Homo-oligomer: A and B are copies of this chain.
Amino acid sequence: MQDGAPDGGHDGTSSFRLFGAAATTPVADALTDDAAWARAMLAFEGALARAAGEVGLVDAAAATVVAEVCAKAGQDVRAHLDLAALATGTATQATPVVDLVRQLRALVPADARHAVHVAATSQDVVDTAAMLVMRDCVGATYDEVAAIFEQLAGLARGHRSTAMVGRTLLQHGEPTTFGALCAVRLVAVREALAKASTLTGRPPVQLGGAVGTLAAAGTARQALVERVADLLGLSVPLTSWHPTRGPVVEIAASLGILAGELTGIAQDVVLLASTDVAEVSVATPGGSSAMPHKQNSSRAVLALACAHRVPGLVATLFAGMPGELQRAAGRWQAEAPVLVDLLRLVDATAAHVRASLDGLVVHPDRMRTAVDALLARTGGTLDTSAAEAVVDRALGGPHEEDHA
C-alpha cells in the first residue's frame, strides 16, 4: 500500500521527520534505531553462545563460530541481516526473535547451529538488548548533560553576584542573584544525573529461558547467566525478571526525573526571555512566519515540548509493570518502543536545553532595574551574600558560614 503512495520512502519505511526531528537527536536516533537494536541482540546471542561453550553446554568450537558470526554481523547489521523481516516478525508474532534466530542460524555453518540461542527465550534477547541500547543511548545524553553543567556553572560563577528579583508564583518576592538560580538548577540536574547513571551503569542481564528457570541449561544455568552478564558488562540478577519490570521502570523513572529537572532550565529561559521580563536573550532566536520582529526562545520551547511528553511515557511503563504469571501478554510488548521514545525525548530535551543556554545573553541592567523597583516598594537594601553562598555551595567553593 505504502509503495503505491505518491511520495513513499524509497526503502519502504515511513518517515516522520518533519515534526519528529525536534523530538530526537541524530545521536539518539543512531543509538536506538533498528541497527542498534539488531547489534544489541546479536551481542546477546554472541555472548550467550560463547558462555554456553565455556560452561560446557555446547561444543566450544561451535560456540566460538556462533560468537564470531554474531560479532561480524554486528559490524554491519544491514549487510548481514534482513531487518525488514525482523520488523515483520514483530508485527505479526509480537517478537522479532523467532526470525532473528532463523536468520542467525542461516549465517552459521550447519554443524555449529546447535550453539545458537541455547536455553534462551525471546524475551531474554529483547530485555537484554533493551538494557544495552539504553546504556549506550544514555551515555550520549549524559555527555550532553555534562555540557549543560559547564554552561550552568559558568553562568553561576559569572553571575554569582548579579542581582535579580526572585519570583515566586511569578510575583516579585525578594532579591537574589542570577547565579543562585543557575546554581539551584545545576544541583538538581547533577543529582538527577548521578542517580540515573548509577542505575544505568550496570543494569541486569535477562536470561531465564522459557519460563524463567533456565531449565534448559541444566546445572550450568547460574554459571551461564553469570558469564553472559560478564561478557556484556551487565550485572547478575538474583532471579530472572520476565514478569517483574522494576529494572526497566526504575531507569525510566530516573530519566523522567532528569528530564523534569532539565525542563526547569528551559522554563526559566522562556520566562526570563519573554518580552515582558527580557532579563536574558537567547543567542539564536527562532523566527516567525507572520512577525519578523519576534525573537522566539525556540530551543527552550522545544525542550518544553519534548519534556511534556515524558510523563505520559513513564506512566505507560509504570502501568505496564505487572506481567501475567511467567510472562506478560500485552503490556510488556509495548515496552521497547516506549523506551525508545523516552530515550530519544530525554536526549532531545538535553540538546535543546544546551542549545538554549549556548551563548545566552544576560542583561544585568534589566535585572537591576527590577530589583531597584522591588526595593523601592519593600524598603530593603541589596545584600547578595546569601545568594552568593548558594552559588558557592553548588560549585563546591568556600562556605564561610559553615565555619561561622
Contacts and interface: CB of A to CB of B under 8 A. Distances in A.
**Size band of the interface chain A makes with B:** 35 or more
A180 B289 contact: no
B308 A331 contact: yes
A325 B401 contact: no
A169 B301 contact: yes
Contacts of A298: 92-94, 169
Interface stretch (A59-67, A107-115, A145-153, A271-279): A271-279
Interface in A106-149: 117, 120-122, 125
Given A173-B326, A188-B241, A276-B277, A333 B302 contact: yes
Interface of A is mostly: helix
A184 B302 contact: no
Contacts of A404: 219-220, 222-223
Given A174-B215, A211-B176, A257-B253, A399 B246 contact: no
A50 B257 CA distance: 34
Contacts of A216: 290
A232 interface: no
Contact of A183 (B90, B239, B266, B324): B239
A96 B170 CA distance: 19
30 contacts: A2-B30, A5-B35, A9-B33, A14-B32, A18-B86, A92-B299, A93-B286, A167-B276, A168-B211, A169-B327, A170-B271, A170-B325, A171-B294, A187-B238, A187-B239, A212-B390, A213-B386, A219-B404, A223-B401, A238-B394, A250-B253, A263-B322, A267-B322, A297-B329, A308-B330, A309-B316, A309-B338, A310-B318, A312-B319, A314-B315
Given A169-B294, A253-B254, A305-B334, 15 more contacts: A9-B13, A14-B24, A18-B83, A18-B86, A167-B211, A168-B326, A169-B329, A170-B297, A188-B246, A210-B288, A219-B404, A249-B256, A264-B321, A293-B378, A306-B334
